[in-house]
Structure 1
Amino acid sequence: MSGPDRIVVGYTANESGADALALGARLAAATEALLEVVMVLPIEVRGGVIPPDTGYERYVKERSRTWLAEASATLDDDIAQQLHIRYAESFAEGLIEAAHEFAASFIVVGAARGGLLGRMRIGSVASALLHSSDVPVALAPAGAREVAPAQGVTRITAAIGTRAGSSAVLEASVRFARSAHAPLRLLSLVPIDLPSGMDEGLADLASSAHADEVLAEAQRSLPAGVDATVVTATGATIEESVRDLEWHAGEVVLVGSSRLATPHHLFLGSTAAKMLRELPVPVIVVPRTTTP
């Protein structure tokens, strides 16, 4: 599809939907992308395997259009946008289909309700996307709607490891940094990836050397003209390491996708979940074979 980049926002008429819309607007403002705001309705609304109730279908569709219009009215006039209603077996399926239709760079969804302000709580929709999407998924933390779209993207942090998938994260981060005109930071979580049972002193020495090697290799692989700062996360746990780092209000973090990673990938399973729960900024999860 020619024309500007596109960002699909999975909208729901609640705080989570407002957070997703706000993050989508920020990403669109930073990259001059077109915002495709999508509400996904259950396919049962159309009657499923039984004859449809046309009156009920019309009511639901009109109500959804009203919610979309109200959401659209909250966006700045300079945010190019289109509103859509889609039917699908699941919310995640409908968003993936829309992302394919629009050749979107990202799918944006909000945190599950009940999460702490500024933190990520992965709900059923985000979980389904992270296990089935071949399009990068951006996760908006609770309260993302409080950050003005004009804030844009002030820095992009790429979580870099040595396992499979790291090159895709780096490539995606470079591309995103260029399109958003934002500085790039390379983050190493190598100390947490050491075997258990190592002597603490030896582990510290090994992890420090390993982290330096990882970051140096990542810097060497950057395209000409792309500079990046580097930082190594330190701490006994993922949670501690993430909490101790400095984060900008307008920052976005890119991590590798657990869905396409090998069994030894750094950001797998519980490790990824712990990191996502502690991050106070939006996260974009990049499939290993797909870059934004």
Structure 2
Amino acid sequence: MTILVAVADDPMRERVLDVGLDLGRGLGQDLYVLHLVNETSADSDARRIRDEVREYVTGADVAVTVSVEQISHTGARSGPRTAQELLDAAADVHISHIVMGHTSKGLLGNLKDGSTAFAVADSAEIPVTIVPSMDQ
């Protein structure tokens, strides 16, 4: 099976990748690194993130596939909606474990947008590892 590692364009990306690589080694599983975008085609920022992730995992002792996928809905990306996109991708790729980061948005932010990480953990039927930010 495969571990899905969800990454974003944020300071947590390398920590999340490191946890994913460690789990991949320890469990003997491949990694599927996923970055979700709103655009219908990968824009320059998405391509930059994809290329940075590929460079970061070059030489890793586990097999890594890096993907940029479009979110299928329009409008604002709420935590629960993004969580569903991650869970749909996990089902499509036969994922056995999900690794993702979490940075607290505070009470107001969580009430307004919800938490993607907690929504994934709540709905997933597979193990989810949530990597907290250093300041939490």
Q: TM-score, normalised by structure 1?
A: 0.37
Q: Which has the higher contact order (CA 8 A, sep 6+)?
A: 2
Q: 2:94 aligned with 1:98, yes or no? A: no
Verify: 1:140 aligned to 2:127, yes or no.
no
Structure in which a larger fraction of residues adopt strand? 2
User: In the aligned structure 2, how far is the partner of 1:22 from the partner of 1:14?
Assistant: 14
Over 3 Å counting, the alpha-carbon distance change for 1:124 and 1:114 in structure 2 is: closer
Question: Where does structure 1 lack aligned partners over 5 or more consecutive residues?
Answer: 47-56, 116-122, 144-276, 278-292
Q: Does 1:37 align with 2:28?
A: no
Equivalent of residue 11 in structure 2, options 15, 31, 36: 15
Trace 1:113-124 onto structure 2 (pairs within 5 A): 124=115
- The answer as to whether partners of 2:57 and 2:64 remain within 8 angstroms in 1 is no
- Alpha-carbon separation, structure 1, partners of 2:104 and 2:93: 28
- Deviation, 1:129, is 0.8
- CA displacement at 1:114 relative to structure 2: 7.4
Gaps of 5+ in 2: 74-80, 107-113
- TM-score using structure 2 length: 0.74
Instruction: Please give the root-mean-square deviation of Cα atoms over the aligned residues, in Å.
Output: 2.3
Aligned ranges 1:57-136 → 2 under 5 Å:
57=41, 60=43, 62-75=44-57, 77=59, 78-88=61-71, 89=73, 90-112=81-103, 124-136=115-127
C-alpha distance after superposition, 1:59-118 (max 9, x if no partner): x2x421221221221225123100112222432122111211121111111121579xxx
**Equivalent pairs, count:** 119
Larger radius of gyration: 1
Runs of 4+, deviation exceeding 3 Å: none
